[in-house]
Amino acid sequence: MDKVICVYSSSSCSIEKVYFDAAGQLGKEIAVRGDILLFGAGMTGLMGEIALAVHRNGGKMIGIIPEALNVKGIVYETCDELVVTKGMRERKAIMDERSDAFIALPGGFGTLEELLEIITLKQLRYHNKPIVLLNTHGFYDKLIEQFEEILVQRFAKQESRNLYFVADQISKALEYIDAYVPPEHGERWLTDVEKKET
């Protein structure tokens, strides 16, 4: 309750209905729980769908948008709080700082970029917040396979699996966030390099 949940998602209106249904259900659950949605302040695609669902169910939301996208027809103008930034980097920094948890709905290149950056920031210990991939309709199956390949070939440590959680249901995603306890960190990745140098 009272958590600020950042949701990354698609702005495309051309995708299948199953993704819109999941976004709407997530928005409803966030509102009913008394949590706050933080998102990219778009009114199209899954971004708009989740925002509408939050408002339909009496919830609150914070939108963060760069000034280049703060135009009628793109921005969700009825956010409870709308923050306009100079650019994308400032936008993401504010989203990172103000959020208690992160959920990635299916999306395109922008969603993947946001997801991978927030995972990387957690790996580097800039934050220790829960990150969830909501794997609607198996959308993230191939990405999860690639993550496993990264671990198998030792481009990252095995404990990197703890950086994120994969959920195929909204209830599981929110339960994970509610029960989340920040893990204790082992040695840094760079420790391997430091040992060779000494």
For residue 50, the enclosing domain spans: 4-197
Note the pTM of the prediction, 2 decimals. Answer: 0.92
Q: Phi then psi for 187, rounded to 5 degrees?
A: -70, 150
The DSSP code for 77 is T
Nearest-angstrom CA–CA distance, 179 and 183: 12
Residue 105's H or E segment, with its range, is: none
Nearest-angstrom CA–CA distance, 22 and 28: 10
- In the chain, % helix, strand, coil (3-state, to 5) comes to 50, 15, 35
Encoded amino acid at 160, one letter: S
As for how many domains the chain has, the answer is 1
Each of the 198 residues of the chain gets a pLDDT tens digit; together they read: 799 999 999 999 999 999 999 999 999 999 999 999 999 999 999 999 999 999 999 999 999 999 999 999 999 999 999 999 999 999 999 999 999 999 999 999 999 999 999 999 999 999 999 999 999 999 999 999 999 999 999 999 999 999 999 999 999 999 999 999 998 766 665 545 455 444
Residue 198: per-residue pLDDT: 45
Q: Supply the CATH number for residue 21's domain.
A: 3.40.50.450
The residue written with tokens 């070939």 in the block is 153
